[in-house]
Amino acid sequence: MGEGHLPVLVDEVLTSLAVGPGSSVADCTVGGGGHAERLLETTSPDGRLLGIDADRAAIAEAERVLARFGDRVVLRHANFEAIYDTAIESGLAPLDGALFDLGLSSYQLADPARGFSFAADAPPDMRFDETSGVSALELIERSSERELAGILATFGEERRAGRIAKAIVAARSEGRIVTAADLADVVARAAPSRPGSADAGRIHPATRTFQALRVAVNREVEVLTAGLAGALAALKPGGRMAVISYHSIEDRIVKRFIARESRDCIEEPLPPVCTCGHRAQLRAVTKGVITPGPEEVRRNRRARSAKLRVAEKLA
């Protein structure tokens, strides 16, 4: 693996999941197999791993990287919202551990044909699973200015969503958005980084726009909630889930899920007598988030925004 393919927070994940020989683990975003490889080494000689990914290219790469582990590995092309059914079907449930490494893989970013990169000379597709759903370009073509602004504000937390949406719609009507590079240029011209701002020179002006479109295209908010619930159902008592997120939208979902499942009554406001019937199923293993140290960030730029949360299933 090159630098861009280094798995993030590996030692912290292994320590937090606390798996060992014979453990059954799911890597719900197997990607290039970096975390999976270390998990299989840690659970040797007889531990097993279920690796799932919505990206067929990721499954192919994982097959190559993890080939030496033989039948200890089960790989499935699926979205992690189906983790529970996939774990049952594969015979690996109940699980001792489940890992989610969210966001965009560096090899996806490096493939110009996928349109994830600001410089890609290809249509902005941005789908993890190229066989289903609509591409980012199709989403742009189908959406009104107001709908686009909503997407950018909600999923990208873009403060200048209205201005950018207006520029995208104008460029679309003139046929000026053909490639991902075209889209990035339209956004950069409409909302350039402000001199002296925190983002100036640090991130591309189109970063939040590309994030928002990718999140919308892949239904990332919706499937994350379903995936966390599925992983919780698939874990055995004492099993742990670890989630690495890279932006505040994902991290809030994970934080709220753990908080909700760590209490009995979930009614708001709390009533004198609970009637919802909900019972706590999790306890947070970490207080707050685990973040990478400066040395890891220096070696792997992808790690700079990573946040790890871990929770354990109650008996």
Please provide the CATH number assigned to the domain covering 130-217.
1.10.150.170
Overall residue count recorded for the chain in this entry: 315
Instruction: Round to whole Å and give the CA distance between 101 and 6.
Output: 12
Read off φ and ψ for residue 124, nearest 5 degrees: -75, 95
Of 58, 67, 56, 47, the C-alpha closest to 7 is 58
Residues contacting residue 25 through CB under 8 Å, at least 6 positions apart: 17, 19, 39, 43, 47, 48, 49, 50, 95, 96, 97, 98, 99
Q: Taking the model in full, what pTM does it have? A: 0.90
Q: Terminal CA-to-CA distance of the chain, rounded, Å?
A: 39
Task: Parse the chain into domains and list their residue ranges.
Answer: 3-106+220-313, 130-217
C-alpha 309 chain-centroid distance = 13
Q: pLDDT value at position 267?
A: 80
Burial 52-70 (b: 16+ CB within 10 A, else e): bbbbebbbebbeebbeebe
Instruction: Round to whole Å and give the CA distance between 211 and 230.
Output: 25
Q: pLDDT value at position 6?
A: 79
**Residue 36 Cα distances to 10, 25, 97, 139, angstroms:** 10, 9, 12, 33
Chunked into runs of 10 residues, the chain (315 residues) has average pLDDT values of 67 96 97 95 97 94 96 97 97 97 80 87 93 94 97 96 98 96 96 69 87 95 96 98 95 96 86 85 93 93 92 95
Q: pLDDT value at position 2?
A: 37
Hey, what are 88's tokens? Answer: 């049952």
Q: pLDDT value at position 3?
A: 39
Q: pLDDT value at position 198?
A: 56
Task: Please work out, in degrees rounded to the nearest 5, the angle formed at the alpha carbon of residue 167 by the alpha carbons of 165 and 171.
Answer: 115
Instruction: Round to whole Å and give the CA distance between 48 and 40.
Output: 7
Q: Which CATH number fits domain 3-106+220-313: 3.30.420.40, 3.30.565.10, 3.40.50.150, 3.30.470.20?
A: 3.40.50.150
**DSSP letters for 135-202:** -HHHHHHH--HHHHHHHHHHHH--TTHHHHHHHHHHHHHTT---SHHHHHHHHHHHSPPPTTSTTTTT
**Sign of the four-CA dihedral 110, 112, 114, 117:** positive
3-state class (DSSP) for residue 27: strand
Q: pLDDT value at position 196?
A: 58
Q: At what angle do helices 161-173 and 180-190 cross, to 10 degrees?
A: 130
Tell me if 51 sits within 8 A of 30, measured CB to CB: yes
**DSSP letters for 111-141:** -GGGT-STT-SS-----SSTTSS--HHHHHH
Task: Please work out, in degrees rounded to the nearest 5, the angle formed at the alpha carbon of residue 114 by the alpha carbons of 111 and 118.
Answer: 80
Instruction: Round to whole Å and give the CA distance between 3 and 300.
Output: 6
**Sheet containing 235-245: order of strands:** 73-77, 48-53, 24-27, 95-101, 235-245, 307-313, 282-284
Beta bridge partners of 49: 25, 73
Tell me if 58 sits within 8 A of 105, measured CB to CB: yes
C-alpha 196 chain-centroid distance = 31
Q: pLDDT value at position 271?
A: 81
